[in-house]
Amino acid sequence: MSWTITVTELNEYVRRSLAGDPMLKDLRLRGEISNFKRHVSGHLYFSLKDEQARIQCVMFRQDAAMLSCAPADGMRVELRGSVSLYTAAGSYQFYATSLRPDGLGALYQRFEELRRRLMAEGLFDAGRKRPLPVLPRMIGVVTARTGAVIHDIARVAGRRNPAVQLVLRPAQVQGEGAAEDIARGIGELGRTPGVDVIIVGRGGGSLEDLWAFNEEVVVRAVAACPVPVISAVGHETDVTLCDFVADVRAATPSAAAELAVAERGQLADQLMSLRVRAMNAARDALGAYRTALSQAETRLTRLHPLSRVRELAARNRLAAQSLRSAAQARLRDAAARVDQCAARLEALGPRAVLRRGYLIARGPDGVAITGVDRLPDTVELLFRDGRAGARILTVERGDPFGGKQEDV
């Protein structure tokens, strides 16, 4: 006997059957993470695989917040949870409540081993990185012929500077032989005349999808490329060895185009700014040269023989003038001192004595008599207004003014 049910009823029946199976509750599941995605809601979505099969897995936000490690593609982990059915899509999946590392997956191990070996060779050194050209005229692109990558790059480049030419070298970006094809494309564009920079990239995907960009042949092709290379592989969270060796790593192909192609309006502004700076620098330099020239002319004028002669002549004139002034000053001082001495001599001279009412007695020899001991019989008396002869009648020794006589 058969009956008809709806899809919802069927999916709900399967879900209850799975939920009621004790073997599918509190189950521990071991495998390798692939196609890992963290939703904006905080839920984690990924696949868990082994050598022969895979299953879709979900971890809700409240459980993901308790994780002590960051899940990533290629990690081998042990999950704890239960199996159920997402009835809206009829999707059989594992609902994980915890996650812990269980060693690294094979691809992740290969990634780490190659990364360490190439790093030891210096292929990832910052000193090898080259600056991107400021104004590229031709940009090479190594990516798939179809897909959003080349269209995104063309759209952004055309908007920023329509004069930039894009050269596409179509390449297989996934699967067997992809790495060799990518490496050949990089080499061909690197040898193409006029190519200033190369963008290598593809859209996002799992670790397996992006693995061609982790192959050694691609890494060495990027390292050997004669022009700068921008790596734009996957999304912002995806990391490949091509990112490490490239001169610049872009989060997305659109971001790579923005890095490679300067905006025309921005270039015009920069050009105007450089022009103003150049004019200011030239004006400042010209002013400095004029000042230096003026100073040099001044020094040359001072060092010219005629200027030297004029300087010495001026110094001689100043010296002569100073000498004359000094001599005149000394003569004036000397004349003043002579006048002072003459006045003192005049004040102490005999005429001044006579004018004060005194007289001078002189002997026949014309010598002034200063005492009675050598008094001759006759003397000549000098007055203020004349002279007279006199005869000595008496001589009396002692103080003429009646005081005590001092011994002489």
Q: Determine which helix (DSSP H) or strand (DSSP E) holds 267, and give its type and residue range.
A: helix 264-303
- Residues 369, 251 share a domain: no
- Residues 156, 201 share a domain: yes
- Residues 249, 135 share a domain: yes
pLDDT of residue 18: 80
- Residues 47, 169 share a domain: no
Residue 324 lies in a domain: no
CA distance 219 to 213: 7
Residue segments in the chain with a per-residue pLDDT below the cut of 50: 407-408
Assess contact for 9 and 23: CB atoms under 8 A.
no
pTM given for the model? 0.52
Residue 230 lies in a domain: yes
Out of 262, 289, 315, a domain closes at 262
- Residues 160, 145 share a domain: yes
Which residues are CB-contacts of 342 (< 8 A; sequence separation ≥ 6)? none
pLDDT 10s digits, 104-136: 567 777 888 899 999 999 999 999 999 999 889
CA distance 67 to 105: 19
- Residues 200, 293 share a domain: no
- Residues 255, 271 share a domain: no
Range of 202's domain?
128-262
pLDDT 10s digits, 19-77: 777 777 888 899 999 999 999 999 999 999 988 899 999 999 999 998 877 788 888 88
Residue 69 lies in a domain: yes
Q: Report the DSSP pairing between strands 248-249 and 229-233.
A: parallel
Which residues are CB-contacts of 297 (< 8 A; sequence separation ≥ 6)? none
Instruction: Let me know if 226 is exposed, middle or buried by CB neighbors in 10 A (0-12, 13-18, 19+).
Output: exposed
- Residues 276, 221 share a domain: no
pLDDT of residue 255: 93
Assess contact for 143 and 150: CB atoms under 8 A.
yes
- Residues 205, 144 share a domain: yes
CA distance 268 to 172: 38
- Residues 256, 272 share a domain: no
Report how many domains make up the chain. Answer: 4
CA Rg value for the chain: 60
Residue 370 lies in a domain: yes
Residue 323 lies in a domain: no
CATH number at residue 167: 3.40.50.10550
**How many residues are listed for the chain in this entry?**
408
